[in-house]
Amino acid sequence: MTPGQAPAAWRRAVTVLTGFTLAAALGGCAGAAPELETDAAANLQERVLEVTRSAAGNNPAAALKSLGSLSSELDAAAAAGQVSFKRHRSITAAINSVRADLTAAQAAKNAAAQAAAAKDTAAPKPSPTTAPAAVVPVPVPAPAPAPANTGKQDNSGKGSSEGNKDKGSGKNKD
């Protein structure tokens, strides 16, 4: 997937992180007491780049991991006095926004993977090396024709007058 085809949430995450990078770079150049010292800004920009690459590479899990590193490094820089309280709050807000987007993207990716796995297990695909079995129709035998009914009753069994023609009143006559 190319960066131009990335989901909207990821493009937003990349945009926010890029904005943070630019703001950090410009903030490090301020004249008086900087809100973000140059060394801290460089380190944070490296972490932002990691997050951006992972997000653009369609890997929200890695982006979330890199975002965690960015957040930890930001907190350490703030504790060391390299980041002002105001700047720390604004960067943390940006990180939280990106984290929410990446978490949603990760959930969507997981759901898509589960749906694909369910689809694959529901309908097994034939292997490309074997040809599908040919369906051979089984002929159904035609029903036997019904005997023709001429309206006469067949009385050829015992007790019928026609079945006993050879027997009768003229028995033993020469």
* 141 domain-assigned: no
101 alpha carbon, distance to own chain's centre: 19
Does the structure show a pLDDT above 60 at 50?
Answer: yes
* 75 domain-assigned: yes
Task: Check residues 164 and 135 and name the one with the higher pLDDT.
Answer: 135
User: pLDDT, tens digit, for every residue of 31-47?
Assistant: 556 788 999 999 999 99
- In this prediction the pTM is 0.53
User: pLDDT, tens digit, for every residue of 99-147?
Assistant: 999 999 899 989 998 998 888 776 555 555 655 566 666 666 666 676 6
User: pLDDT, tens digit, for every residue of 19-29?
Assistant: 665 555 545 55
> How many Cβ atoms are within 10 Å of 36's Cβ, its own excluded?
25
Domain count for the chain, please give it. Answer: 1
* 59 domain-assigned: yes
* 15 domain-assigned: yes
Whether the Cβ atoms of residue 46 and residue 141 lie closer than 8 Å to each other: no
CATH of the domain at 93: 1.20.1440
| 83 DSSP β-pair partners | 36
Q: Write down the pLDDT at residue 1.
A: 46
Domain range for 59 is 8-122
* 142 domain-assigned: no
* 65 domain-assigned: yes
